[in-house]
Each structure stands twice: as structure tokens, then as C-alpha cells.
Amino acid sequence: MHAPMAPTGSTDILAIANAPVLWLCVAGVFGVIVVQSLIFLRAVRRAAPAVQMTPGDIRTSFRSGAVSAIGPSLAVALVAIALLALFGAPAVLSRIGLIGSAAYDVSAAGIAAGTLGAKLGDESYTQSVFAVAFFAMSIGGAMWMIATLILTPLLRRGDAKIRAINPAAMAIVPAAALIGAFACLGFTELPKSGTHVVTFAVSAAVMALSLLLAKTLGKSWLREWGLAISIVTALGSALLTSGS
Amino acid sequence: MTSTSTAPAATDQAMAEFDRTTSRWGRATMIAGLLVSIAGPLYLVFAARLDIAPAQLWIAFAAVAATFGIIWIVEPLTYYPILGPAAMYQAFMIGNISNKLLPAALIAQTNIGARPGTRRGQLASVVAICGAAAVHLASLALFVGLLGSWLISVIPPAAMNVTRLYVLPAVLGAVLVQAIVSMKQPRTTVIALAVAAALVFLVLPAVPGLAMVSTAIAVLGTVLLAWFFRSRQPASEARPAQPVHLK
């Protein structure tokens, strides 16, 4: 059952996942984003008259952004709720809700747990494994910010030059990396049990159907809700298949 | 970047001031967000007495880096031309760029009749992202933060248990399909699926020791094979890059 490397420990993840310090950090992330938004809004208000942007335009832009975010935000919240049992509210809020995404963070946590010989959610998923997985996904998520911090000033200077990086490589390499990673992570789930196979297949089929309907019927909200609908349907089929 | 030579000096000055403020404060807030976001896990790992060896942390991070390292660099590169410098600092902290922030910016630009790439367009997208962030923070705080623990308490234990055990295949099935569809690269897709299948169903059963680095091998193998067997026709190479976006 336990791989030799996995440190022993309690499997009561939520006991440490809801530690007050973690809630404090979530409040910090929320606070930073609020402060950033306020500073940016003030900067826009100052620059707006010079580019013929009226206060009405600013209000319209803010409202447009807010209204168009309702669907995607609720979809993300639904995915986050499905992951609460695995990571606890603070980690889900700061990682899947903000900064990261379900696709990246769940994959990263699975990979990190794997290096300890553990699997997310089963009896090998101890408090220590959770801490290592949370660490790995957070530091990994921070790398996007570090890349943004380094690249944005560089790109401002050498805009056109960097855009002209070999377009074939820019098209092929990220596609190969992402599909390769998700295919490998997904297929690794299959030998675990019949229920894993059913869950994976249902999730993939529902997503394919959502994307197909979004395209043929022109319903773009199906694209935003695709992940949430797929996860909920797949978990429902897992519940039926496992008979628990 | 748009030409600045024809614009009046006052406009230039106002936009230069905007750029200065947003890059200085964008950077400062992003560094703050970065530190706060890693403070939690650092506390757990080092202060919560969970008996974790530093080597375990580095191995776990190395495995994640081997899988996502390329994306860390490529994603900021591909979003920059669309977002512009100011919004970069917002987007990479708020997340869900392609399915939430970009549509928000685009709709705002349409609604006030500003073309993307112009200064009005740039300001409109910054404001739209602020609006999207407000809604996003509110919905997360309400449905996950406030009601989340209540939801956990009312969900039947059986459903909770099934979620814990099977959420990984439930996420990955959908994400794999989403990645394949949005990349629109049939050749790379076939190679990636073949590499991953061969690795998981043939190599790993024979050499279980590779399990820890299997994703990294799949990424590297797919990148090399996809590059080696890429289409050499100039028409398909000229197509603009459209990587899948994780953030």
C-alpha cells in the first residue's frame, strides 16, 4: 500500500488544509488583487481624458467586464467546490480560484504526490503528501509570475523581435508539451480501476460533446461551462459505477 | 505597438504616466501576490512538523517543472501581444485568462467602440479586467469561501468519498479533450497519444521505477517526435501559434 518513500502520517487532510495561517494567506491574495485593481483603475481615470475616453466609457467597460465574467466565474467556483474535499478551501481558493487553474493545479498535485509514491484521495494521501503537493503546485504556479515579471519589461522593449521567434516552434512545442503531459497523466489513471476508466471516459465524452455543441449551435457559454459540466457528470457516473 | 508620432504630446505624456504607474505597481503587487501565495505552503512544509525532507520538496518541484516548464515561458510570450504590458500583471495573478479575462476585455472594447491595440482599447481592457476580477473575487468568496464548508457538511459522505477518489480522472478526461480541440494540431495529437499510451501501457509495467518521471518523459518524447515529424509545408507553418492556455 504505502510506498517506502511516503512519510507516514494522518490522512485527515482538511485538519491542516484549513489551518488559520492558510486562510490568512488567501485573504492576502484577495487583498493584493483588490489593491492592484484600485491602483490600475485610478491610473486609467487619469490617462482617459487624453485618449478621448469618457467616464461613461470607463463605467461601460467595467460593467461589460463584470457581466461577461459571471458565467466563467460560476463555472470556476463549481470546479473549486468539487476539489474542496481534496485540497481544502484555502488551497482551492488561492490556487484553483486564483493564480492557477484546475487543469494545472490538479495535475501538478498528482505529479508531486506521485514522486512520494502516493495517490491523491486514497489512503496513501497523508498530510505530508498534501503539504508537498501544495508546495509543488504553488512554487510551480509562482513560476508563471516570475516569467511574467521578467518577460513583460523585456517584451516592452523588444516587442516585434520576440514575436518573430520561429513560428513553427511556437505552434508545435507548446502543443506537444501540453497534449503529451495531459495524455500521460490521464492514461496513468486508467489501470487503477474500472471506475477510473468510466470516470475518465465520461468526462472526456461530455467535454467533447460540450465543445461540439458550442461550435455547431454557437453557444459559447458551453465552452466556459464545459469543464464544470464534465467534472460533475463524470463524478456522478463514478458514484453509480462504484456503487457506494 | 501603435505609432506615436502623430499623437499630440499631451496624449503621449498621459500614456507614459499610465505606463509608469501600471508597470511599477503591477510589478510590486505581483511580487506581493507571489510571496503571499507561497507563504502558506512554506508554512505547512517547514513549520507544521509534518516530517518532510527538503529532498522530497525538490524532487516534487522538479517533476512539476519537467512537465510545465515550457508553458511557464510560452504563455506569457503568447499573451503579451493580446494583453499589453499593464494587463499582463493583472492577468497572471487573476487567472482564467483565455476563458474569462480576454472575452471580458473584448466585449468592453466592442461596447465602447475601441479597437484592440489602440490606447482606448488598452485602457478599456484594463478596466474590463478590473470588473471581471471584482465579480470573480465576489463569487469565489461567497460560493467557495463562505458556503464551501457548509457545502462540504451537507454533501453525503459517499459522494464526498467518490469525489476524493475520482476527481483526478474526472478533471483529466475533460482537460485532455479541451487541449486537443483548442490546439487544432492533429499530427501532434496523434504523436502525443501514441507516446503516452506506449509509455503508460508498455514501458511503465516493464520498468515501474520510471513512474516518477513518466510525465516528463512523455512531454520530452512528444516534443522531440512532433518537431521531427512536423509538417514541412510552408502553409501550415505560417499559421499563427495558438497554444492552449492553462492560466
8 Å CB contact of B195 and A107 = no
CA distance B5 to chain A (A): 15
- Asked whether the predicted pLDDT for residue B237 surpasses 50, the reply is no
The predicted model gives B197-203 an average pLDDT of: 94
C-alpha torsion angle, residues B37, B165, A70, B35 (rounded to 10): 0
Which residue, A138, A198, A228, is CA-closest to B174? A228
The predicted model gives B122-134 an average pLDDT of: 93
Which residue, A33, A68, A108, A104, is CA-closest to B93? A33
Q: Report pLDDT for A7.
A: 46
Q: Chain A window 98-117: which residues touch B at a Cβ cutoff of 8 Å?
A: 98-104, 106-108, 110-112, 114-116
Q: Report pLDDT for B77.
A: 80
8 Å CB contact of A62 and B141 = no
Contacts of A108 in chain B (CB under 8 A): 64, 67-68
Mutating which of B82, B127, B193, B224 best tests the A interface, going by the most A Cβ atoms within 10 A?
B127
8 Å CB contact of A148 and B92 = yes
CA distance B153 to chain A (A): 11
Percent of chain B topping pLDDT 70? 90
3-state secondary structure of B167: helix
- Asked whether the predicted pLDDT for residue B242 surpasses 80, the reply is no
The predicted model gives B153-168 an average pLDDT of: 82
8 Å CB contact of B178 and A226 = yes
CA distance A64 to chain B (A): 5
- Residue A129: all three cell numbers together: 503528501
Q: Report pLDDT for B185.
A: 87
The ipTM assigned to this model is 0.80
Give this prediction's pTM: 0.80
CA distance A153 to chain B (A): 8
Digit-coded pLDDT (tens) for B1-26: 444 444 567 788 888 899 899 999 99
| Least confident residue range of A34-48, A132-146, B50-64, B223-237 | B223-237
Return mean pLDDT, chain B: 84
- Taking residue B33's Cβ as centre, other Cβ atoms within 10 Å add up to 27
Helices marked H in B96-156 — which ranges? 102-111, 119-139, 148-154
A158 touches chain B (CB under 8 A): no
Mutating which of A58, A128, A152, A157 best tests the B interface, going by the most B Cβ atoms within 10 A?
A152
The predicted model gives B81-107 an average pLDDT of: 84
The predicted model gives B216-227 an average pLDDT of: 88
The per-residue pLDDT string of chain A (244 residues; one tens digit each, 9 = 90 and over) reads: 334 434 447 888 888 888 899 999 999 999 999 999 999 999 999 999 998 899 999 999 999 889 888 877 887 888 888 888 889 889 999 988 888 888 889 889 999 998 898 888 888 899 999 999 999 999 999 999 999 999 999 888 765 555 566 666 667 877 888 888 889 989 988 998 999 999 999 999 999 999 999 889 988 778 778 888 898 899 999 999 987 5
Catalogue the long-range contacts made by A167-171 (C-beta closer than 8 Å, 24 or more residues apart).
A167/B237, A167/B238, A167/B239, A167/B240, A167/B241, A168/B230, A168/B237, A169/B227, A170/B74, A170/B77, A170/B78, A170/B241, A170/B243, A171/B185, A171/B237, A171/B239, A171/B240, A171/B241, A171/B242, A171/B243
Distance, in Å, from the CA atom of B106 to the CA atom of A68, rounded to the nearest integer, reads 10
Q: Report pLDDT for B71.
A: 83
Q: Report pLDDT for A134.
A: 94
8 Å CB contact of A65 and B56 = no
- Asked whether the predicted pLDDT for residue B141 surpasses 80, the reply is yes
